[in-house]
Chains A and B, each alone.
Chain A
Amino acid sequence: MSLKVGYITGFIVVKSLPDYDSYLCKLLDSQFLAQLPKKWARKEYKIGESDWAAVFDMVGARITLSQKSPQYVRKILEYLLMPACAELNLKIKRTAWVTGYSFHKVAVQPQNGDVGSSRELMAVIKPYIEKINIKDYISENISFVRYSHDLKAFVVNALCPPGHEDKIYKVIHHVEMNQVDVMADASAIPAILGINGRNIVLAQKLCKCDIAVKPLSISVFDKFKEKY
């Protein structure tokens, strides 16, 4: 059995390690022991239960597993959404999650050009998701984002939903600073930021750039347009 960081592996819980706040697990079909920190476990396990996890880290003899890492989410989704990926020609590009947040953002690239936004992507994937039970594998919710090579479009897709594309007036990409300014209607700002700004934080992580959301009213925007 080959073992590398990011690989999905089956494990069986051998005992709980209260000192490390983790589970001691034996990897299936090998003699390796690994630790699954409780904060990275999908649920509370009993001794003898088995499940899947991704290898998060390997330092010396110590192997750490995770059920919340980007590799785990990506590989499990690739497995679960295999029919969707094959039929709709989708490709999972990136995932982002921050500890304590209740959802993962997953960037999906449609190879066909008929899916324009994240909302359309979600509508297309929905029938496939209804057939499977993602909660059996990932405890958080999944927010699908349409991937785009154009960073400005990707940032808008990452913010909407829950934001609305039609309330975003202008997007400016500062290449040198690797920052994207999003000018949106003041009324849409709370939806774009999300609870405690979580939506922005995850969008930044997903798009690998800084995002600044600036409120703008439609009248100011019109003036701005006339001036320049």
Chain B
Amino acid sequence: MEEKAAGKENKEAQAVSNLEKRTAIKKRFATMPASIVFIPAGGRSGFVFHKLLLDLNKYVRKINNSAVFGDILEVKAKHGRIKKLCYETWEGLKDIIPRFHAFDPKHWADINETMDERMRLINRAAACVINPIDDNVAMLAMAIKVLSEKFNEYQAKSDFDNLEKIAMLFRKIQADLTDLMGQNGNKQGSNT
């Protein structure tokens, strides 16, 4: 019995230590000037978007590195596909949230939080942080952030019509991103 209790205590201490480590890493990332902090919608399953964005960051880095010895036209085409996906996502977002109608997603930094606000937000266990490698990743991350924000709001209001629209858009983003990055290899952004 005592051994069991000791084991349980050890596990709890380990969990607390891991959480502290994770929070410290997240805080370090949140202090970076272009970082985006967001709380993904959909609870635990929403973390797949964080994973997808991290994968997209890596993917863009790989494309950029391949430009040195690879085919520049192919690199340009890949960047074009990412950009197209970003703009499609924002078009879908504008249909659901009309106040962004006149908003140019290139100006994503205008609606990003200040450093203090990011540090305040990062204290929540569910908060995710992404340091986008370029504007396309940032635009997509900001779209996911805005959609998650609105998703939580509609959840509180029990507005299921709009919830469904956002959920469909989320699924589309996930499918498109997986398709985009998984063309040359394994399926990306999956927790399972």
Binding site for B on A (CB under 8 A): 1-3, 12-14, 26, 28-33, 47-48, 58, 60-61, 63
Contact = CB atoms under 8 A, between A and B. Distances in A.
Interface of B: 38-39, 111, 113-114, 117, 120-121, 123-124, 145, 148-149, 152-153, 156-158
Contacts of A28: 153
Contacts of B123: 60-61
A31 B120 contact: no
Contacts, number: 43
23 contacts: A1-B113, A2-B114, A12-B156, A12-B157, A26-B152, A26-B153, A28-B153, A30-B113, A30-B117, A30-B149, A31-B39, A31-B148, A31-B152, A32-B117, A32-B120, A32-B121, A48-B156, A48-B157, A48-B158, A61-B120, A61-B123, A61-B124, A63-B120
B152 A47 contact: no
A13 B156 contact: yes
Interface of B is mostly: helix
A26 B39 CA distance: 12
Contacts of A26: 152-153, 156
A31 B158 contact: no
B38 A31 contact: yes
Contacts of B113: 1, 30
A24 to B, nearest CB: 10
A31 B121 contact: yes
Of B39, B113, B123, the most chain A CB neighbours within 10 A belong to B113
Contacts of B117: 1-3, 30, 32
